[in-house]
Amino acid sequence: MGAVTLTAVATFALAALPWFSAPVDSVQGRVEVVVAGTGASPILGALILVVAAGLVAYLLARGVLARVVAGVLALAGVGVVAACVSALLDPVTPLARLAAETSGVPELAGEVSRTPWGVVAAGAAVLLALSGVALALAPPAVAGRSRYERPASSGTSSGTAPGATAEGAVPPSAPVERSSGATDTPAARAAQVDDWDALTRGEDPTR
């Protein structure tokens, strides 16, 4: 997409520069008429607008529609190349048309002079067409993981070490250490009470 944008901007800028010039005899004397790229090929300006609209549409399109827009961009780039080449091969026609507007006579009074901008614009148009074709053939971009998406849970909460619960509590399945002489059952506690009662009455509880 970046290559298409850069080549399109370069082609647009070069098309606005003067490509041809020639002397024309008018009532004020001999004057020089100059034709820019968009004047040398009227269709060139229309194709430039198509490319500009296609770039905006591609940024908004998704999926198959984006492929279709990229194909339109490639075709428009080929059209820009054809328009540039056609203008370079026939500079007299646009100059004669401009001479008729200036002097009323569609005749040139001298040789046609060329600037390098037409050839450079044609080269930029070729790059534009190739970039459009590459964009149309490129595989669709795969949407990446969102930066706010949490990873899948593996059975433990985020930030808690495996085998432990929140706030450092020991999991229920962990064994609890007890002293060897501890007696926590109700029967054991009742037996202790009976032994103390026997001692109180002066009896030997071991009998």
Please give the residue that has the higher pLDDT: either 80 or 178.
80
At 85 the pLDDT is 93
Q: How far apart are the C-alpha atoms of 71 and 65, rounded to whole Å?
A: 10
| Range from 42-56, 119-133, 191-205 carrying the lowest mean pLDDT | 191-205
Q: C-alpha angle with apex 166: 163 to 168, nearest 5 degrees?
A: 70
CA 64 to chain centre: 16
The DSSP symbol for 109 reads S
Average pLDDT score, the chain:
76
Q: How far apart are the C-alpha atoms of 204 and 200, rounded to whole Å?
A: 10
pTM flag (> 0.75): no
Domain 2-137: CATH class, spelled out: mainly alpha
- Give the 3-state secondary structure of residue 113: strand
Q: How far apart are the C-alpha atoms of 8 and 56, rounded to whole Å?
A: 12
- Give the 3-state secondary structure of residue 62: coil
**H or E stretch at 175:** none
Indicate if the pLDDT at residue 166 is higher than 70: no
Q: How far apart are the C-alpha atoms of 133 and 113, rounded to whole Å?
A: 34
N-term to C-term CA, the chain: 99
| Range from 23-27, 80-84, 143-147 carrying the lowest mean pLDDT | 143-147
At 100 the pLDDT is 85
Highest-scoring range by mean pLDDT, 6-15, 100-109, 137-146: 6-15
17: left (phi over 0), alpha (psi -120 to 50) or beta: beta
pLDDT band at 184 (very low <50, low <70, confident <90, very high): low
